[in-house]
């Protein structure tokens, strides 16, 4: 089993850490040495701080470390298979069906769908084995998703040296990012709270995103790599966008757990789910982490805006809605932390919060126009 594979003894723990750190450092140093002339000082700083960030994450969370090592291995293997020729994605069997970015992302979709089904089966049958398989499938989906994004990053440079860029610039790409970040955060809580019962709920929102990716791929054919418009050509994108999506992901988890909470409070599925107090705590923790990242992302966005648009705040619809989302969760946290509010009201509120967040993320692009119209539907 995948999870069994992940169970490690103490010596292998040390080996793993050494391997992980040397991969991160080695990769970063190689990139610095080889591509130094293509990067400005900020990009170098981001590269080095990402080594720190990933080390910290890996140090505190073993499972993450293993996923990242495998992502590294698979991506390097895929790059090896490409050997600098873009058309190899049709020629080489393993690329065509497994590791080219679009195939890998399809596999991610498949495993997310399977994981959702298995989480539900596991929940309803109270079957631990099914839960474990579902959880492993989620890990595999993450593995494929991250590999897909990294390979896509490489592919974008094969399309054209001036076209290459980090794949978080349009709706297709950020939806993948959303799936990955949300599921990673969920897996973290799954381990920390020692319950796999909530996957059935969290995977719903991830599968909604998967649905969107499929629609975007097959109906809109919008899964291709597009060159960056001048406003997006900035190192800020590498920090602003992921930070925002950690926020979105955490808010989504909070809303999904709120559904579980509300059902459980109404004695529906209550015997299948963790205790209300645990759910309540989990909702709070996800909103808290989401809020911090969302705050940071919005501030970084303001700093970027000051550089690109000439003002840190222009009351652009996207900015304004980010403020509304922020105010909403600020009030939520205020009522919980300061006023000590608990229970169904906050659960409902977290659910409504997701609607507001979704509007800020998608609705603004669909219905309102402004400076921020990069991902149009």
Partner 1 sequence: MSFAISMLVFLGIASIIGTILKQNEPYENYIIKFGQFWFVFFEKIGLYDVYQSIWFLTILLFLVISTTLCVTKNSPIIFKDFLLFKDSLEEKSLLSFTHHLVLKNRKKVSLSRVIDYLKQEKFKVREKSKDNGDILIVAKKGDFQRLGYIFTHVGVVVICLGGLLDGNLFFKAQELLGYKKIETLDIPASKVLEVSRLRITNPSFRANMTLAEGSSDNVAFVRKKDGYLVQDLPFKITLKDFRIEHYSTGMPKSFESDLIISDPELSQDIATTITVNHPFTYKGISIYQSDFQDGGTNLDVKLWNLLNSSGSQKINAKIFEKIKLDKDQLTYEFNDFRKFNILNLKEGVKEKPRNVGPSVTYKIRNNSGQAREYISYQLAMLIDDRPFFISGMRETPQEEFKYLKIPADKNGSIAEFISFKEALQNKILIEMVAKKMTNRSVKSDNNSSVKQSFEDSVNKIMTLFVEGGFSNIAQNIDNNIPTNEKEKAVQAYLKIIDIASIELYKNYFNLSDKEIDQSAIRFIQESLNAYSDMFLFGSPYYFELTNYEQKEASGLQLTKSPGQFWVYLGSLSLVLGIFSMIYLHERKLWLLIKAKGGAIIAVSSNRKNIDFELDYRKVSQAIKKIIQ
Which residues form the interface with partner 1 (CB under 8 A)?
Answer: 160, 162-163, 221, 226-227, 229-231, 233-234, 277-278, 281, 284, 288, 291-292, 295-296, 299, 302-303, 306-313, 315, 317, 320-321, 323-324, 327-328, 330-331, 333-334, 337-338, 340, 364, 368-370
Question: Toward partner 1, which CB reaches closer, 120 or 313?
Answer: 313
CB of 232 to partner 1, least distance (A): 9
Question: Toward partner 1, which CB reaches closer, 195 or 226?
Answer: 226
Question: Toward partner 1, which CB reaches closer, 145 or 317?
Answer: 317
CB of 81 to partner 1, least distance (A): 26
Instruction: Assign 3-class secondary structure to the chain.
Output: CHHHHHCCCHHHHHHHHHHHHHHHHHHHHHHHHHHHHHCCHHHHHHHHHHHHHHHHHHHHCHHHHHHHHHHHHHHHHHHHHHCCCCCHHHHCHHHHHHHCHHHHHHHHHHHHHHHHHHHHHHHHHCCHHHHHHHHHHHHHHHHHHHHHHHHHHHHHHHHCCCCCCCCCCCHHHHHHHHHHHHHHHHHHHHHHCCCCCCHHHHHHHHHHHHHHHHHHHHCCCCCCCCCCCHHHCCCHHHHHHHHHHHHHHHHHHHHHHHHHHHHHHCCCCHHHCCCHHHHHHHHHHHHHHHHHHHHHHHHHHHHHHHHHCCCCCCCCHHHHHHHHHHHHHHHHHHHHHHCCCCCHHHHHHHHHHHHHHHHHHHHHHHHCCCCCCCCCC
Question: Toward partner 1, which CB reaches closer, 303 or 345?
Answer: 303
CB of 314 to partner 1, least distance (A): 9
CB of 309 to partner 1, least distance (A): 7
CB of 230 to partner 1, least distance (A): 4
CB of 285 to partner 1, least distance (A): 9
CB of 273 to partner 1, least distance (A): 16
Question: Toward partner 1, which CB reaches closer, 67 or 246?
Answer: 246
Question: Toward partner 1, which CB reaches closer, 199 or 317?
Answer: 317
Question: Toward partner 1, which CB reaches closer, 158 or 179?
Answer: 158
């Amino acid at each position: 089993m995948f999870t069994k594979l992940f169970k490690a003894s103490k010596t292998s723990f040390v080996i793993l850490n050494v391997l992980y750190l040397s991969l991160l450092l080695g990769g970063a140093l190689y990139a610095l040495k080889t591509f130094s002339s293509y990067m400005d000082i900020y990009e170098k700083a981001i590269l080095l701080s990402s080594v720190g960030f990933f080390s910290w994450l890996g140090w505190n969370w073993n499972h993450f470390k293993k996923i990242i090592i495998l992502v590294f291995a698979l991506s390097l293997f895929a790059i090896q298979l490409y050997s600098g020729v873009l058309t190899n994605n049709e020629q080489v069997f393993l690329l065509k069906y497994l590791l080219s970015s679009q195939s890998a992302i399809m596999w991610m979709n498949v495993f997310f769908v399977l994981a959702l089904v298995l989480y539900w089966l596991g929940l309803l049958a109270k079957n631990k084995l099914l839960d474990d398989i579902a959880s492993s499938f989620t890990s595999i989906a993450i593995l494929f998703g991250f590999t897909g994004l990294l390979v896509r990053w490489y592919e974008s440079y094969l399309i054209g040296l001036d076209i290459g860029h980090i794949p978080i610039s349009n709706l297709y790409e950020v939806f993948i990012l959303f799936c990955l970040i949300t599921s990673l955060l969920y897996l973290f809580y799954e381990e920390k709270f020692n319950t796999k019962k909530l996957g059935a709920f969290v995977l719903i929102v991830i599968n909604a995103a998967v649905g969107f990716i499929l629609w975007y791929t097959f109906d809109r054919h919008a899964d291709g790599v597009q060159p960056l418009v001048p406003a997006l050509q900035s190192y800020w994108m590498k920090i602003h966008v992921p930070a925002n999506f950690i926020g979105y992901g955490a808010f989504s988890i909070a809303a999904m757990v709120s559904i579980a909470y509300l059902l459980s409070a109404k004695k529906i599925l209550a015997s299948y789910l963790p205790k209300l107090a645990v759910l309540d705590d989990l909702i709070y923790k996800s909103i808290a982490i989401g809020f911090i990242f969302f705050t940071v992302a919005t501030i970084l966005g303001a700093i970027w805006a000051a550089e690109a648009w000439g003002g840190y705040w222009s009351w652009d619809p996207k900015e304004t809605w980010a403020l509304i989302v922020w105010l909403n969760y600020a009030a939520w946290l205020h009522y919980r932390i300061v006023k000590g509010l608990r229970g169904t009201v906050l659960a409902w509120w977290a659910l409504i919060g997701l609607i507001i967040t979704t509007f800020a993320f998608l609705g603004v692009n669909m219905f309102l126009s402004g400076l921020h119209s990069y991902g149009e539907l």
